Structure 1
Amino acid sequence: MMDNYALPFWVYLAALTVFVCGAMKRILAFHLSVGPTLMAWLGATLLVEQLWVFCMPVLLLLALLGLACYLYSACRTGPPQTALSGQGKTVFITGCDSGFGKEAAKRLDSLGFEVFATVLELTGDGARELQRSCSPRLTLLQVDITQPQQVQQALLDTKAKLGLRGLWGLVNNAGVCVNFGDAELSLMSNFRGCMEVNFFGTLSVTKSFLPLLRQAKGRIITISSPAGDQPFPCLAAYGASKAALNLLTDTLRHELEPWGVQVSTILPSSYRTGRTSNHTYWDQQYKQLLQGLPPALLEEYGEDYVIETKDLFQSFASQANPDVTPVIDTIVQALLAAQPQARYYAGPGVGLMYFIHSYFPFSISNRLLQKLFVKKKLMPQALRKQSGLELHSLHNNNNNEEKSEKL
């Protein structure tokens, strides 16, 4: 019987195996605890079913299953990697006034790195904390990454301390989210502000420090956001800037591979950093938005609609995890792993979110974003009026029909 199916069977089996292994490889990249096991069992079940249909000999069937289990185990665990030492290595980190940047600077300093940490204010609370808690190896630099002259001065200061050495790591952490609300309501200045810091500023720093990174065959670690890959409601300006940043980072990874420079992107879940937990911050954002909106547009959406959006963002930010340890651990891993990954998902839920986004129907992933992120209850005012008029019209039509029947 096997002779009748010889060529078609082996072609089919090879294609099926390639598909299952490819899917497993994609799933493993999301770092899910149940995903790899589930996918492995589904793939094995499909293979076994097809093999039995073709009446495969039992010994050959067992051998193929054993090979599949071995390959799965090898893909899951991978070769053992020895972490590199931070002693004597240099790293340049942007945005160290607070949040990820400040905590990363402290951790890397404790691991023996020579850290160059940029802050917006040398006399600010974050800068003073770094000076108190870190070793003399840490150098504070006042840098606004949107100002090319400040970036170039930081490069000169870094070169002066490095001497003939190259730069092992660049951590692009500085970023802003200066908007909330629908894209139509977001001011053009907010779109430009996000692009200026998150994309152009990061690009300016990266291009400036690339010669030092190429010299040391170092690493570029960029802190991005899932909002750059998935359409989070009311985050159009921020998400667009991060989408541009993600594409830039992916392109650099290909271009810098021949130079020996490793490029990684870190995609964190929601964390409470910076001023986002401050009520005053959201009130200022709200007032600035109202001042910049044309009266006719504000009338279309309604001030209560804007207030609800502000309150939802404020609530979401206040409930975010204040412990940024998973992100800092990931930065360290990307800097010291023998073979760093192209992408890291830092924090609970990010891998699952990307898994659903990649493999589930669009309607499901879209609904997940709407339910988990901004749970709006109000519709824009113009739509509410329209719905009210339609209901009123429908009610009048029903009354007229009842009168006609009575007549």
Structure 2
Amino acid sequence: MDDYALSFWIYMGVMAVFVGGTVKKFLASHFSAMPSLVAWLGATLLVERLCALCMPAVLALAALCAACWLYSTWAAPAPTLPVEGKAVFITGCDTGFGHATAKQLDAMGFEVFATVLDLEGQGAKHLRGTCSQRLTLLQVDITQPQQVQQALINTKAKLGMKGLWALVNNAGICVNFGDAELSLMSNYRGCMEVNFFGTLSVTKTLLPLLRQNKGRILTISSPSGELPFPCLASYGASKAALNLFTNTLRHELEPWGVKVSTILPSAFKTGQSSNTVYWEKQHQDLMQNLSPSLLEEYGEEYILETKELFQSHAKTANEDLSPVINTIVEALLSPYPQARYYAGPGVGLMYFIHSNFPITLSDKFLQRLFLKKKVIPRALRKQNGLSILNHNNNDINSNNNNITKPE
């Protein structure tokens, strides 16, 4: 009996280690860990079977796993490429990911070309005051082809015969909130103009320099370009176009030795996302330009709730941009960069659910994760009210018909 109890507790201990490891990997923030998760699940099943057959084999396997864990913990980190002599072009460096990436890469010794919308703005002044002489600030609106061409001329003049190692496509905007039907056509065009056509223009312009160096292209995209987030139709559509372009480019540039990667971050506080005045202006623009019929059908209270939910979501976003910055650095210096990187907490779980669960469950997860709407559009409230009234009337008539009338 004692031998049985000992075996049972050994069994429970080993299984707890494996199951705990599986859960930990499942909740890990990076979806790129999925292969190791699958391997861990397979090992768990193998251990369970061995436990049922032969306890000494289980102990031997547990010892082997412990040795592998110790090796992975203390083993030397994966080799990276040297920084020396590498030049990187980054768009959208006034704030957010672009600003933080420019500072980080400059501190590491890269030669950085950072584009800003305003050379006299706070972001540009901060970069000018904190970074080395290696960093070059360029005033570029990526939607203006002549400014993009001028940036190419300035970059080539400073690089000389040396090619460009990498392009980080970071510049982008999210100029709307609200249902797809409520979003203004100007918002759809604005998102496409910056997020897709602007990035396309910069990429095509700098490609000769990147091919010369067999460099790489990193594009900061968004999960909303692949997952149907509520109230992000215009932004998501522009990112979807960008994702397809980037993936196509990855295939086409492989013979040239140019590596192409897409980085998909989770929610972070960047740009105007935490600016209350920005959200108020977006709300006012929508209310002023929305057709009276749509405003009547959806209702002011429905649109107001959407604005407040966006503001609330922005306030809870992560302020620490390091997961994205570290991912950019990894993609720049890895000898074999991945085609896709998932940066930030929750992205791995989100993609896992989207890829492996039924669409109805995946959609409900996104709705609860992003915007927990409570207000129903005004027209639907009226319809529901009429339905309830008609239902009650039918019940009353039915009850009247069942009453036996006196003869």
TM superposition score normalised by structure 1 = 0.84
- Maintained 8 Å contact 2:31/2:342: no
| Correspondence 1:263 to 2:260 | yes
**What is the rounded CA distance, in whole Å, between the counterparts of 1:33 and 1:373 in structure 2?**
27
Match of 2:37 among 7, 32, 35: 35
Which runs of structure 2 are paired with 1:317-396 in the superposition (5 Å)? Answer: 317-396=314-393
Report the Cα offset of residue 32 of structure 1. Answer: 5.0
**What is the rounded CA distance, in whole Å, between the counterparts of 1:38 and 1:383 in structure 2?**
48
**What is the rounded CA distance, in whole Å, between the counterparts of 1:383 and 1:82 in structure 2?**
59
**What is the rounded CA distance, in whole Å, between the counterparts of 2:242 and 2:141 in structure 1?**
18
Match of 2:288 among 287, 291, 299: 291
Match of 1:177 among 158, 174, 179: 174
**What is the rounded CA distance, in whole Å, between the counterparts of 1:39 and 1:187 in structure 2?**
47
- Maintained 8 Å contact 1:30/1:354: no
Report the Cα offset of residue 34 of structure 1. Answer: 8.2
**What is the rounded CA distance, in whole Å, between the counterparts of 1:349 and 1:79 in structure 2?**
28
2:286 is aligned with what amino acid? L
Aligned residues: 364
**What is the rounded CA distance, in whole Å, between the counterparts of 1:82 and 1:280 in structure 2?**
46
SS at match of 2:280: helix
**What is the rounded CA distance, in whole Å, between the counterparts of 2:84 and 2:236 in structure 1?**
36
Percentage of identical aligned residues? 64
2:396 is aligned to 399
Match of 1:196 among 182, 193, 209: 193
1:30 is aligned with what amino acid? S
Q: Deviations over 1:100-138 (max 9, x none)?
A: 000000000000001000000000000000001100110
- Maintained 8 Å contact 2:31/2:349: no
SS at match of 2:33: coil
**What is the rounded CA distance, in whole Å, between the counterparts of 2:267 and 2:388 in structure 1?**
40
Report the Cα offset of residue 41 of structure 1. Answer: 3.8
**What is the rounded CA distance, in whole Å, between the counterparts of 2:285 and 2:378 in structure 1?**
20
**What is the rounded CA distance, in whole Å, between the counterparts of 2:142 and 2:36 in structure 1?**
41
Which runs of structure 2 are paired with 1:86-105 in the superposition (5 Å)? Answer: 86-105=83-102
- Maintained 8 Å contact 1:105/1:115: yes
**What is the rounded CA distance, in whole Å, between the counterparts of 2:285 and 2:354 in structure 1?**
34
| Correspondence 1:163 to 2:165 | no
Report the Cα offset of residue 166 of structure 1. Answer: 0.2
1:133 is aligned to 130
**What is the rounded CA distance, in whole Å, between the counterparts of 2:282 and 2:41 in structure 1?**
45
2:165 is aligned with what amino acid? W
2:278 is aligned with what amino acid? Y
Report the Cα offset of residue 402 of structure 1. Answer: 2.6
- When residues 153 and 376 of structure 1 are mapped into structure 2, their CA distance, relative to the original with a 3 A threshold, is same
2:100 is aligned with what amino acid? E
2:229 is aligned to 232
1:223 is aligned to 220
**What is the rounded CA distance, in whole Å, between the counterparts of 2:241 and 2:327 in structure 1?**
22
Report the Cα offset of residue 397 of structure 1. Answer: 1.8
| Correspondence 1:251 to 2:253 | no
**What is the rounded CA distance, in whole Å, between the counterparts of 1:103 and 1:133 in structure 2?**
11
Report the Cα offset of residue 38 of structure 1. Answer: 4.9
2:5 is aligned to none
Q: Deviations over 1:21-76 (max 9, x none)?
A: xxxxxxx9632598335532477589x79xx9xxxxx9xx99xx9xxx9xx99xx9
- When residues 30 and 82 of structure 1 are mapped into structure 2, their CA distance, relative to the original with a 3 A threshold, is closer
Report the Cα offset of residue 242 of structure 1. Answer: 0.4
Report the Cα offset of residue 360 of structure 1. Answer: 1.4
SS at match of 2:32: coil
1:117 is aligned to 114
- Maintained 8 Å contact 1:30/1:352: no
2:346 is aligned with what amino acid? G
**What is the rounded CA distance, in whole Å, between the counterparts of 1:362 and 1:149 in structure 2?**
44
- Maintained 8 Å contact 1:95/1:118: yes
Name the Cα RMSD after superposition: 2.6
Report the Cα offset of residue 401 of structure 1. Answer: 2.5
- Maintained 8 Å contact 1:97/1:125: yes
Which runs of structure 2 are paired with 1:67-106 in the superposition (5 Å)? Answer: 81-106=78-103
**What is the rounded CA distance, in whole Å, between the counterparts of 1:389 and 1:203 in structure 2?**
51
Report the Cα offset of residue 399 of structure 1. Answer: 2.1
SS at match of 2:260: strand
Match of 2:298 among 282, 297, 301: 301
Report the Cα offset of residue 160 of structure 1. Answer: 0.3
- Maintained 8 Å contact 2:218/2:263: yes
1:20 is aligned to none
SS at match of 2:113: strand
**What is the rounded CA distance, in whole Å, between the counterparts of 1:229 and 1:41 in structure 2?**
32
Unaligned residue ranges in structure 2 (runs of 5+): 1-29
Q: Deviations over 1:240-263 (max 9, x none)?
A: 000111111111111101111000
2:32 is aligned with what amino acid? F
Q: Deviations over 1:157-211 (max 9, x none)?
A: 0000000000001000000001111000000110000000000000000000000
Report the Cα offset of residue 323 of structure 1. Answer: 0.8
**What is the rounded CA distance, in whole Å, between the counterparts of 2:316 and 2:230 in structure 1?**
18
SS at match of 1:171: strand
- Maintained 8 Å contact 1:223/1:265: yes
Unaligned residue ranges in structure 1 (runs of 5+): 1-27, 53-57
- Maintained 8 Å contact 1:167/1:213: yes
**What is the rounded CA distance, in whole Å, between the counterparts of 2:371 and 2:32 in structure 1?**
24
- Maintained 8 Å contact 1:95/1:174: yes
